[in-house]
Amino acid sequence: MALKREIGLWQGTALNIIDMVGIGPFVTLPLILAAMGGGRAIGAWILGAVLAIADGLVTAELSAELPRAGGSYAFLREAYGPARWGRLVSFLFLFQIIFSAPLSMASGAIGFSRYLHFVFPEIPDRWEAPVASLLCVAVTLLLMRRIGAIGKFSVVLWIGVLATLGIVIGLGLPHLKLAAFRFWEAPVISAPGIAPPAGVLGGLGLALILSVYDYLGYYNVCYLAEEIVEPTKTIPRVIVISILSVAVLYILMNACIVSVLPMAQAMGSKSTVADFVEVLAGRPVARLVTGLILWTAFASVFSLTLGYSRILFAAARDGNFFPAFARLHPTEGYPVVALLALGGAASVFSFLDLKAVVSAIVSIRAIIPFIAQVAAALVLRKTRPDLARPFRMWLYPLPAFVALLLWGFVFLSPEKGFKAAGFAVLGAGVVAYLVMARRKAEWPFTAPA
């Protein structure tokens, strides 16, 4: 039975935007403001959008020439050779998911816990991590059921996600100051207890890491390639439209908050958006909006756990990942091992600092898949000139070089100090692949067919 192509341009765009907008912008906003020393933070949001667009154009070309379910997994496997290096690189993509996926889930859970404190200020700060950990456990238990029930519940969650941003921006637009967009003129402000940025590039390095994290998800439509109507045309359009739309929403929200809140308060708060709404509309409305933000945080953890568990299950079922991840519940049919592994790891990662979690996510993913995927597009241009390319990245090869430059800057930025985490996961993945390949007598321990 084949997958049905029923997702068009607007449905695909809506799904992609929902995947991109989670709890990220609500919890990273004060961190980006602090990293840039105030109003200059809008520059980081813009640069993050430039990276997302450049990398998105690379992804769009790959998805048009290789419209296959699995997205990055399929691109990397084909570009580097499905019988040789492609096996290793695509395995590394799956292996890093074991770490980056639960870290992403933990970031949403930590954001949930921080905004929950606004609604219930009597909760002690020391309970932030345990509450986040319990949320990961609860989501995992909720997902242990048939997919039909999950699909209906997901639609309800998506509505809340879009309503949250709409209300926040709608409240702020009447108070928006055009001076907020002249971010290069904004003074550098140091809030109490927050160290000023260590030079322009130092502050920008951390701010770009945080803003890029908020844009992640623009490639998710590629996972649905075999369910998209005219994927060679639709997927590139979805990627570009969703990135531009989300960039506008993020920049508007940031500009509204900069125009209203005192900068020291915006930089130092753990619930900046709730404080912003309280100033404009009072505590009751702020509690309502915070409820929607909690809804958004829950939805992000829910959707991430669901999607990543299916990627690991599918790869294991096809014999390209650890066989245990292919196990299904005997009666309900969900991937029980994948869900338990991701949920358990996320509950542990929830005890880490939020900034450390976000930095680790971007560090681990910078090389595999992002840098490797950009290189894959360049490799395919040289090795497979005969391959049909219904969509070609605009201004080739400029987007690829811009993406490589910015991803390299993100990964090597001295501000975050998490290069070791990325290399450690990469090294562990190589060892795991060699062990598995040895047991299965696959490349490089046997000549490829």
Q: Please, which pLDDT band fits residue 202 given cuts at 50, 70 and 90?
A: low
- Which amino acid is located at 205 in the chain? G
Tell me if residue 7 falls in helix, strand or coil.
strand
Q: Give the mean pLDDT of 386-398.
A: 89
Check: CB of residue 226 under 8 Å from CB of residue 5: yes
What is the Cα–Cα distance from 343 to 359, expressed in whole angstroms?
20
Q: What are phi and psi of 285, to 5 degrees?
A: -65, -35
Q: Please, which pLDDT band fits residue 194 given cuts at 50, 70 and 90?
A: low
Q: Give the mean pLDDT of 180-207.
A: 73
Which residues are CB-neighbours of 264 under 8 A, at least 6 positions away? 189, 191, 192
Q: Give the mean pLDDT of 360-367.
A: 88
Helices (H) and strands (E) in the chain, counts: 17, 0
Q: Give the mean pLDDT of 243-272.
A: 90
pLDDT at 1: 44
Q: Is the pLDDT of residue 345 over 70?
A: yes
Q: Give the mean pLDDT of 425-439.
A: 91
Q: Is the pLDDT of residue 204 over 80?
A: yes
Q: Give the mean pLDDT of 358-363.
A: 86
Domains and their CATH numbers in the chain: 9-440 (1.20.1740.10)
331-343: pLDDT as tens digits: 877 789 999 999 9
Tell me if residue 243 falls in helix, strand or coil.
helix
Q: Is the pLDDT of residue 36 over 60?
A: yes
- The DSSP annotation for 31-92 comes to HHHHHHTSTTHHHHHHHHHHHHHHHHHHHHHHHHHS--TTTHHHHHHHHT-TTTHHHHHHHH
Tell me if residue 2 falls in helix, strand or coil.
coil
Percent above pLDDT 90 for the chain:
35
pLDDT at 276: 94
pLDDT at 151: 47
Tell me if residue 335 falls in helix, strand or coil.
strand
Local structure of residue 270 (DSSP, 8 states) = S
* Mean confidence (pLDDT) of the chain: 85
* Lowest mean pLDDT segment, chosen from 35-44, 188-197, 236-245: 188-197
